[in-house]
Amino acid sequence: MFKRQYIPILVTVGLFILLFIAGSFRYTGFFSTQVLFNLLIDNSFLLIVGVGMTFVILTGGIDLSVGSVVALTTMLSASLIQHQGWPPIIVIPIVLAVGIAFGWAMGAIIHYFNIQPFIVTLAGMFLARGLCYVISINTITIDNSFYTNMAQTKIKIPGGSYISISVIIAVVVVLLAIYMAHYTRFGRNTYAIGGNEQSSLLMGLPVGRTKMMIYAFSGFCSALGGVVFTFYMLSGYGLHAVGLELDAIAAVVIGGTLLTGGIGYVVGTFFGVMIQGVIQTIINFEGTLSSWWTKIVIGMLLFLFIVLQRVLGGRASTRNMK
C-alpha cells in the first residue's frame, strides 16, 4: 500500500500519536492543546538544529559540532551584549554569520581533503566548545530588554493556549526546509548525493558546492538554535547544549531518515523531536521517574528504528538482486 521509504515516517507519526493518547488516558490534564504546544516551546531550539542535521544526514554525513556551536552562539551573544554593550540587531546577524562560516569551513575540508565528516565535525565540536571557554569560563547572564521580552512574550492562541516566539521561528524554519528539500534544485541535489555520490558526479551535479552549502546550512541552523536557546536560558555558558548533537541525530533517525543517506523527510524530524518531548512530558507527569529515563527510552527507540532501516534496506537489496 505504501512505498517502502514511507514506512519509517509512518511508524514515527503513529508512535507519537500512541504516546500522546497513552499519556492522555493515564494523566489528568495531559490531553490539552497547551501540553501539545509546550512540546514545541521546550524543544524549539532542538527542532531548528534537527532540521540542519536532517540535510547533513540525507547526504550520508554527520555533524557532531551542532551542540558546541549552540553553546558558542550563547557565549558570543552574551559577551557582546553584556560586556561590549552591542545591540541585539547587530549581535544576532554576527552570530548567525559565524555559524554559517563555521559550517562552510567544515564542508570545504570534508570535500576538498576527502576526510570523513565524523572526524572533521568532531574537531569542529572541540574547537567551538573550546572557544566558549576562551570567551569566559563562567556563566554570563543576559538582562537585555530585547532578550527578556523575547523570552517572556506569549502569543495567545484561540482556546486559551499560547506559544512563544521561539515556536514561530522553529515552525518557519521547518516550512522553509520542507520547501528547500522538495521544491528546489538544492534539495534535489542533496537527495542525489545521498543516494549515490559517484553517480551525482557523473551526472555533472555540483557535489562539492552542495556539500559546503549543506554544512553551512547546518551551521546556520545551529547558530539560530543557539539564538533561540539564548532566549530560553537568558545566559551564555560553555556547558550549554552538551549532548545536543546526539539528541538531534536521534530525532532525525527516529524521524525516518536513513543514516546512509538518500531517504528522509524534514516532517519526520519534526515528529522525532515531538516524540522526545512527549516522553519527557510523560516522565514529568509521572513524577517518580528520573529524567534519565528519557535517554533510556530514546536509546531503545533509536535501536528499533536503526534495525527497521536495516531490515527494509536489506529486503530492498534482495529484491533488486532478484
What does the mean pLDDT of the chain come to? Answer: 91
Q: Is the pTM of this model over 0.85?
A: yes
Confidence of residue 310 (pLDDT cuts 50, 70, 90): confident
Alpha-helix residue ranges (DSSP H) falling in 157-265: 165-183, 185-195, 197-202, 207-233, 244-254
Crossing angle of the two packed helices 165-183 and 207-233, in degrees rounded to 10: 170
The bridge status of strand 235-236 relative to strand 161-164 is unpaired
Q: Is the pLDDT of residue 291 over 80?
A: no
Q: What is the mean pLDDT of residues 214-219?
A: 98
pLDDT tens sequence across 89-112: 999 999 999 999 999 999 999 999
CB contact set of 264 (below 8 Å; sequence gap of 6+): 54, 57, 58, 194, 252, 255, 256, 257, 258
Q: Is the pLDDT of residue 299 over 90?
A: no
Q: Domain limits of the chain? A: 4-315
At the top level of CATH, which class does the domain 4-315 belong to? Answer: mainly alpha
Percent of the chain at pLDDT > 90 equals 76
Which one, of 227, 270, 182, lies nearest residue 91 by Cα?
Answer: 227
Q: Cell triple for residue 18?
A: 500512541
